[in-house]
Amino acid sequence: MLNQVLLIGRLTADPLVRELESGKKVCDINLAVQRSFKNQDGLYETDFIPITLWQGLAETLSQFCQKGTLIAVRGRVQVRTSFIHDKSIPTLEIIGERITYLSAGKKELETE
């Protein structure tokens, strides 16, 4: 069986790492991913996809990336169940497992 997602897009905001009570570090990002086809008006639409990064991957992304940085994310889809008024609501989320940096990061931009 295979559970793998590959997305290429731009960060919609500067990444912020949070430390949980358990000591684990997490970074929630949104990736703007342009669709590969035009809509009926002849325009490319963009999807804004939330992705969760953990530990070292979260820290590295926050050190080298900022809003607008083009990245590729390889990850997996996971189902999280929330309960609202005793009704279970399944939600799909993407957990990033690998990042490939496709445009200049913070350090390169600061030296120019």
5-105: which CATH architecture?
Beta Barrel (2.40)
| 96 pLDDT above the threshold of 80 | yes
Distances (CA, A) of 47 to 66, 95, 99: 19, 17, 19
**H-only helix segments in 1-112:** 55-64, 106-110
Categorize the per-residue pLDDT at 112 as very low, low, confident or very high, splitting at 50, 70 and 90: very low
Report domain extents, the chain: 5-105
Q: What pLDDT is stored for residue 95 in this prediction? A: 97
| 109 pLDDT above the threshold of 80 | no
pLDDT (tens digit, 9 = 90+) per residue, 32-88? 999 999 999 999 999 999 999 999 999 999 998 999 999 999 999 999 998 988 899
